[in-house]
Amino acid sequence: MKFKIGSIVCMCAVLFSSEIEAQSNTITYKKDGFWQQQADYSMSIDMDVESYQFKGTQTIKYTNNSPDVLDRVYYHLYFNAFQPGSEMDARLQSIQDPDGRMTTNIGTKENPVFESRISKLTEDEMGYIKVKSLQQNGKSLSYEIEGTVMIVNLSSPIQPGETVNFDMEFDGQVPVQIRRSGRNNKEGVSLSMTQWYPKLAEYDDEGWHADPYIAREFYGVWGNFDVKITIDKDYIIGGTGYLQNADEIGYGYTDADVKHKGKKLTWHFKAPNVHDFTWAADPDFIHDTMQVPNGPLLHFFYQNTMPEDKLDNWKKLQPKTAELMQYFSKHIGDYPYEQYSVIQGGDGGMEYAMCTLITGERSYGSLVGVTAHEMAHTWFQFLLATNEAKHEWMDEGFTSYISALAMNEVMDRNADNPVSGSYRGYVYLANSGVEQPLTTHADRYSINQAYGISAYSKGAVFIAQLGYIIGDDNLKRTIKKYYDDFSFKHPKPMDVVRTAERVSGLELDWYLIDFAQTTNTIDYAVKGIEGNTVTLERIGVMPMPIDLTVTYTDGSTEDYYIPLRMMRGQKPSSATVKADWAWAHQTYSFEASKTVKSVQIDPKGMMADIKKDNNTFPASE
Ligand SMILES: [Zn+2]
């Protein structure tokens, strides 16, 4: 998603000698000790576009690849969040800075009083998933629903290696759009169908992840999806998955002229190896496609009812989207699907499997920017698929980083540091007194602003600053190797750091500990200069290697690099390398080659020093 915080806008190996084998839509992993669950979905729903209610059937073929016997499973029923009295409603009413999209200001501009929009939903406006029946291998199961989570006690525990079928019948109601999914968003898109179906919770080496839906994002089980959606024939659908019956549907999915019979059409989609299935539908959608050379077919769905200049932006967006796809594929890794869709819907921008939902009536720059951000999520949220409740910064942060670089190139911005906004955001947060460590559960930040800056800005700084520590070429190789080794595997923070260690040969665990697991901050200073001698001081607790530039009294300059001893090595550098700095020593002096006039630490601004005024000496420089 894209996150806005006050004036700061954040755009938003374990070298497992592993092999991914793609065979007939299944992926198997050969890696010592690694396992993950598999959930293959077959679903059919019948949507009533007048009442926004739908009836569904679902079969999940669930394979327990864990070494554990499972006597329970959990389902997410996300639509239940959009009910008065839900945890999402309660949180909205108690947090100091609620999301403006989810509240109505019933006070004044000067003295706002925020009212939860969820608290005002009537019976026919709220969202729900009502489970009508559930069977395991044909035998009825009992279940209990606690808000957005359904607890199923199995009559027959699932053994390691066993595959079972769960058959469910359910009724759903699409809520008035409050957040992410819903009916009739503010731009009038009829159906934004995200987190709309009963979804099995993920079980991994850290156990169950049956997180309630309070505010933050998702984590799911990989599997193959077969989905049939029956809906009034006037509606045009875009979403996850390949349409199987284009000949019956038409609507830009085939060039053939298709005549629709009857009142409704059934759309049949298949999506191999995804952990989510999303769709949106509207009778006013224009459907354009564009082929990315050596890449997927891009689909664009946007309403024909928007003003002419906004429609024009959607045309101009299309070649830029192709360029973005090529940028990310080159700099992270190949996009492994044949299709990607940019769909007008939702309430801002949100990433999903093989698609994104974005609001569409935007300026050209904003439209390209949100598409860049959401498409970049494809690699981090969808294909690497980190647990976003626990490690949100690995998704939002890395996405913000790479999309800022992509925008810099695709839009010819030529910024020296495309991530400078993220650095400013992080430094603001670090000095604000409300920062919590990146290990905080995404729902447990005290205020939304602290979550936002942490996940987006500090997460982006984490990866950009890693380039400062190990060198830019090593960072580029790290990002590609991280994707190569961990796509489709739900990586964790240590996986990124171990990848960087393997690529650079440097010891980096201190970086993860200090920057992600604490709120320790970086503050280095130039203490003084005397003749050829430069003295530096470490004021903050967090260690860092130091790049600095010395200007001599004769006007010439020289770059120096001071390695950090605990890294047991140094990045490739063309600067003059001095003796390493052992962290516990608070000061460090070295001899420059000529009489020193002034010194500047980190002139490129890639180290997230939270007090910059002492980085230059004399201070006036
Ligand atoms: Zn995002």
Of 353, 419, 43, nearest to 221 by C-alpha is 353
Q: Is the pTM of this model over 0.85?
A: yes
Q: How far is the CA of 353 from the centre of ligand 1 (A)?
A: 13
* Non-local CB neighbours of 338 within 8 Å, separated by 6+ positions: 242, 296, 297
For residue 339, how far is its CA from the centre of ligand 1 (angstroms)?
Answer: 20
Q: Alpha-carbon Rg of the chain, whole angstroms?
A: 26
Q: 8 alpha carbon to ligand 1 midpoint, in Å?
A: 15
DSSP line for 317-331: HHHHHHHHHHHHHHH
Q: Where do runs of H (alpha helix) occur along 204-347?
A: 246-249, 308-331
- Taking the centre of ligand 1 as the mean of its atom positions, its distance from the CA of residue 233, in whole angstroms, is 33
Is 400:459 a contact under the CB 8 Å cutoff? Answer: yes
Ligand 1 centroid vs 16 CA: distance in angstroms? 28
Where would I find the H helices in 361-443? 364-377, 392-410, 420-430
> Ligand 1 center to residue 351 CA distance, Å?
7
Compute the distance from residue 90 Cα to the ligand 1 centre, in Å.
24
Q: How far apart are CA 278 and CA 66, in angstroms?
A: 27
Instruction: Report the distance separating Cα 430 and Cα 268, nearest Å.
Output: 49
- Secondary structure of residue 223 in the 3-state scheme: strand
Rounded-to-integer distance, Cα 318 and Cα 147, Å: 41
**pLDDT at 619 (0 to 100):** 78
Tokens encoding 347: 């309430």
Q: How many CB atoms lie within 10 A of CB 355?
A: 30
Please report the pLDDT score of residue 500 as a whole number. Answer: 98
For residue 465, the SS3 value is helix
pLDDT (tens digit, 9 = 90+) per residue, 529-551? Answer: 999 999 999 999 999 999 999 99
Determine how β-strand 349-352 pairs with β-strand 297-303.
Answer: unpaired
Interval between CA 31 and ligand 1 midpoint (Å): 30
What parts of the chain have a pLDDT lower than 50? 3-30, 621
**How many Cα atoms are found within 13 Å in the side-chain-facing hemisphere of 561?**
14
Q: How far is the CA of 181 from the centre of ligand 1 (A)?
A: 16
CA of 377 to the centre of ligand 1 (A): 6
Q: Give CA separation, 211 vs 90, 201, 278, in Å.
A: 16, 8, 20
How far is 374 from 358, CA to CA, in rounded Å?
A: 8
